[in-house]
């Protein structure tokens, strides 16, 4: 019997309409657990580097994680994997909510799409019954609206539906996939879904899922739940509020936005507004947030409630969480949170990524102001009016043009990198916040921080939030606070980490950028990344795990949890080996697609003060530490030591070594 997983994938060929339930090999689970791990292997085996994002051979994989659907709290992530139209690399975008557990209860660990449907369809999965249904009546409908329409049509109020909006149908390179309170947002996997002709996937499962040693598992889960309640009532002292308690950044709870609005950048990640958070703004934004927020909501089997139901005049109610609360107001330079929430609601219906989209729109107006684009580019046609002058009006105008791929919007629908290339005339330079061809979080900082430098450089999942966590961003200035912090820090790999933290100061010789020292920094970054990889293989939300500072999942209890759930007895060392293997395979997929040292670089102006020699030392040293050469390519020895000899052979054949 298979435990924690179902042992079956659902394979759907959209070109032929063929549907198959395929038994998987338990050895794959031992090798890479599940989620992003096993999806990376499928991409390796079946999607060669010659496959382009919109080729029928590109796969679109919806994967549950190994622990999804079990009693493990927060084990609800769906990891979506495909070749991204934005980066041309393999992308891993995630959504929480309820989809993944439902997939397991329907009897599948993954749903794998290949080919392209000749017409717009939606997929209806109820346990063993799988239908490919006509979706022409849903064409052009919003992503949230579609979810409800499908539930009504199926008379299945309990079905969970992942859908795309107009942006996905029109293959906007930063189109998202939306589902309930969640979203697989980044790197345009909604465009791949649209290209395959899938408007939505509805799923309802009623089967059981077995776990190997339920009593043992529940005992650990009970401890985790108790710990979570305790942590919420006992925030980490003197820590910034969104990191002091558990949850994906608690933006729905938190109203004080001084830190984000003054330290993150506005427009196309261009301007920092140092004195933005005045008492008047604080009063207005707090009032607007509290009035818009109808109730706080959770994902499947999680007590944390870091999302919210938002209702603002002019747009249908929708779910929101985290930093997208601010990105629209900040991207458009509109000092009105309610407008930001209205625009976010509209954008979510269209189905676009809340990080890229505002920067792309702001970029378009930068090009206009720089004279690279002219008034003519923003003129109206019979189909649509000319672009308004005011910040709010022009933003909405451009958003509409982009998702419809109308006029100049057609160029910006490809994101800042590709739009810059198409426009030329120096437009490329204005796409300044990119990392591997897509827009990074809108941050401009002071002196380079070596820990973040390495994370930005080497993170394959491309989102900084998909690797950071565990280690605080800043030290405490007082030794007694540091001493107090490490007292109950049982999540650290070993006590040396506590010693480094105790010595870490704001200023002087024990401060960044040279303290902690280089070897310690490598261990810290590697630990952070390792925890994210485990979450993404197991489908556990990082909001109660890797992203957090003192979470209920950690390197010492994860092996016990996985063992009790699956029956595979895994030690800490073995789990670490699996994460290393997962990491190399993720990188190998992209190395084969051309990822090199040049791609291991943050946006040029991310930090005002750079330290080129030190950065070189950090990057080259870390590459060696990870078992890569100076081009970022995994070495033969490292691959073979992780049982990835087949990757080494492939690299040899292709002349990559």
Three-class secondary structure of residue 82 per DSSP: strand
Decide if residue 93 touches ligand MTE (CB under 6 A).
Answer: yes
Interacting partner of 175 out of ligand SF4, ligand MTE, none (Cβ under 5 to 8 A depending on kind): none
Q: Cα 44 to the chain's mean position, in Å?
A: 21
Cα 24 to Cα 42: distance, rounded to the nearest angstrom: 11
Tell me the chain's radius of gyration from C-alpha atoms: 24
Cα 621 to Cα 525: distance, rounded to the nearest angstrom: 12
Decide if residue 184 touches ligand MTE (CB under 6 A).
Answer: yes
Largest Cα–Cα separation, the chain:
69
User: Residue by residue, what is the 3-state secondary structure of 302-360?
Assistant: CCCCCEEEECCCCCCCEEEECCHHHHHHHHHCCCCHHHHHHHHHHHHHHCECCCHHHHH
- Which are the contacts of 412, defined by CB distance < 8 A and separation ≥ 6? 360, 361, 363, 364, 398, 401, 402, 419
Decide if residue 198 touches ligand SF4 (CB under 6 A).
Answer: no
State in angstroms the smallest separation of the CB of 340 from ligand MTE. Answer: 13
Sole window of 105-113, 361-369, 539-547, 605-613 interacting with ligand MTE (rule: CB under 6 A): 539-547
Interacting partner of 185 out of ligand MTE, ligand SF4, none (Cβ under 5 to 8 A depending on kind): ligand MTE
Burial of 152 (0-12, 13-18, 19+ CB in 10 A): exposed
Which is nearer to ligand MTE, 482 or 548 (by Cβ)? 548
Which is nearer to ligand MTE, 542 or 635 (by Cβ)? 542
Decide if residue 467 touches ligand MTE (CB under 6 A).
Answer: no
Which is nearer to ligand MTE, 547 or 651 (by Cβ)? 547
Sole window of 38-46, 319-327, 382-390, 574-582 interacting with ligand MTE (rule: CB under 6 A): 319-327
Cα 351 to Cα 403: distance, rounded to the nearest angstrom: 9
Site mask for ligand SF4 (CB under 6 A), range 247-266, x = bound? xx------------------
Cα 575 to Cα 595: distance, rounded to the nearest angstrom: 27
Q: Give CA separation, 497 vs 178, 356, 491, 523, in Å.
A: 39, 35, 10, 9
Decide if residue 543 touches ligand SF4 (CB under 6 A).
Answer: yes
Which is nearer to ligand SF4, 334 or 546 (by Cβ)? 546
State in angstroms the smallest separation of the CB of 379 from ligand MTE. Answer: 29
Which of 111, 177, 302, 492 contacts ligand SF4 by CB under 6 A? 302
State in angstroms the smallest separation of the CB of 125 from ligand SF4. Answer: 23
In the window 383-402, what residues touch ligand SF4 (CB under 6 A)? none
Which is nearer to ligand MTE, 138 or 352 (by Cβ)? 352
User: Which DSSP string corresponds to 432-488?
Assistant: TTEETTEEPPSB-EEE--HHHHHHHHH-TT--GGGT--SS-SS--SSHHHHHHHHHT
Which is nearer to ligand SF4, 298 or 635 (by Cβ)? 298
Total of residues contacting ligand MTE (CB under 6 A): 31
Which of 353, 414, 600, 615 contacts ligand MTE by CB under 6 A? 353
In the window 246-275, what residues touch ligand MTE (CB under 6 A)? 248
Q: Give CA separation, 407 vs 360, 385, 412, in Å.
A: 15, 11, 10
Interacting partner of 302 out of ligand SF4, ligand MTE, none (Cβ under 5 to 8 A depending on kind): ligand SF4
Sole window of 112-120, 485-493, 515-523, 533-541 interacting with ligand MTE (rule: CB under 6 A): 533-541
- Which are the contacts of 1, defined by CB distance < 8 A and separation ≥ 6? 210
Which is nearer to ligand SF4, 4 or 245 (by Cβ)? 245
Cα 152 to Cα 202: distance, rounded to the nearest angstrom: 11
Cα 641 to Cα 367: distance, rounded to the nearest angstrom: 50
Which is nearer to ligand MTE, 115 or 543 (by Cβ)? 543
Decide if residue 77 touches ligand MTE (CB under 6 A).
Answer: yes
Question: Is residue 177 within 8 Å of residue 161, measured between CB atoms?
Answer: no
Binding site for ligand SF4 (CB under 6 A): 74, 76, 96, 247-248, 298-299, 302, 304-307, 541, 543-544
Binding site for ligand MTE (CB under 6 A): 77, 93-97, 176, 182-186, 248, 321-324, 348, 353-355, 463, 465-466, 535-536, 540-543, 547
């Amino acid at each position: 019997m298979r435990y924690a997983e179902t042992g079956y994938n659902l394979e759907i060929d959209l070109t032929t309409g063929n549907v198959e339930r395929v038994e998987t090999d338990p050895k794959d689970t031992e090798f890479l657990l599940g989620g992003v791990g096993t999806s990376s292997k499928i991409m390796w085996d079946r999607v060669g580097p010659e496959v382009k994002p919109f080729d029928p051979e590109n796969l679109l994989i919806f994967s549950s994680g190994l622990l999804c659907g079990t009693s493990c709290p927060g084990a609800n992530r769906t990891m979506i994997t495909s070749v991204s139209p934005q980066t041309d690399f393999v992308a891993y975008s995630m959504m929480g909510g309820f989809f993944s557990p439902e997939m397991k209860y329907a009897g599948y660990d993954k749903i794998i799409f290949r080919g392209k449907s000749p017409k717009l369809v939606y997929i209806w999965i109820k346990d063993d019954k799988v239908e490919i249904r006509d979706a022409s009546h849903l064409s052009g409908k919003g992503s949230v609206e579609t979810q409800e329409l499908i539930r009504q049509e199926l008379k299945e109020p309990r079905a969970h539906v992942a859908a795309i909006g107009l942006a996905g149908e029109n293959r906007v390179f930063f189109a998202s996939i939306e589902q309930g309170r969640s979203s697989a947002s980044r790197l345009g996997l909604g465009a791949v879904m649209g290209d395959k002709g899938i408007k939505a996937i509805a799923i309802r499962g009623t089967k059981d899922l077995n776990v190997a040693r339920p009593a043992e598992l529940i005992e650990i889960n009970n401890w985790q739940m108790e710990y979570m309640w305790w942590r919420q009532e006992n925030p980490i002292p003197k820590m910034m509020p969104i990191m002091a308690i558990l949850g994906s950044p608690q933006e729905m709870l938190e109203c004080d936005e001084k830190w984000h609005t003054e330290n993150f950048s506005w427009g196309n990640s261009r301007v920092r507004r140092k004195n933005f958070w005045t008492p008047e703004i604080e009063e207005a934004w707090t009032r607007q947030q509290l009035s818009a927020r109808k109730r706080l909501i959770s994902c499947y089997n999680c007590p944390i409630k870091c999302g919210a139901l938002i209702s603002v005049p002019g747009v249908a109610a929708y779910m929101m969480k985290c930093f997208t609360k601010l990105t629209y107001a900040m991207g458009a330079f509109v000092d009105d949170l309610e407008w930001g929430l209205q625009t976010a609601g509209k954008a979510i219906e269209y189905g676009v990524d809340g990080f890229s989209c505002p920067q792309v729109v702001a970029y378009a107006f930068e090009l206009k102001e720089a004279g690279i684009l002219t008034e003519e580019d923003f003129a109206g046609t019979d189909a649509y009016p000319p672009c308004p002058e005011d910040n709010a009006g022009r933003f909405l105008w451009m958003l509409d043009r982009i998702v419809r791929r109308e006029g100049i919007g057609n160029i910006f629908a490809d994101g800042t990198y590709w739009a810059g290339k198409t426009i030329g005339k120096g437009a490329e330079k204005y796409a300044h916040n990119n990392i591997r061809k897509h827009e990074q979080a809108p941050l401009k900082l002071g002196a380079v921080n070596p820990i973040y430098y390495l994370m930005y450089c080497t993170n394959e999942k491309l989102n900084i939030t998909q690797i950071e966590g565990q280690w605080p961003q800043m030290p405490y200035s007082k030794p007694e606070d540091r001493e107090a912090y490490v007292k109950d820090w049982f999540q650290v790999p070993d006590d040396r980490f506590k010693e480094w933290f105790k010595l870490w100061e704001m200023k002087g010789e024990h401060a960044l950028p040279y303290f902690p020292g280089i070897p310690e920094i490598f261990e810290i970054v590697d630990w952070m990344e390792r925890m994210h990889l485990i979450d993404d293989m197991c489908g556990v939300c990082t909001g109660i795990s890797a992203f957090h500072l003192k979470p209920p999942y950690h390197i010492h209890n994860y092996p016990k949890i996985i063992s009790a759930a699956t029956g595979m007895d895994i030690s800490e060392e073995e789990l670490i080996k699996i994460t290393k293997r997962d990491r190399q395979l993720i990188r190998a997929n992209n190395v084969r697609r051309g990822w090199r040292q040049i791609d291991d670089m943050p946006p040029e102006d991310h930090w005002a003060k750079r330290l080129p020699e030190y950065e070189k030392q950090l990057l080259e040293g870390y590459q060696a530490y990870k078992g890569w050469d100076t081009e970022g390519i995994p070495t033969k020895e490292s691959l073979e030591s992780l049982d990835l000899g087949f990757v080494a052979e492939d690299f040899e054949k292709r002349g990559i070594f």
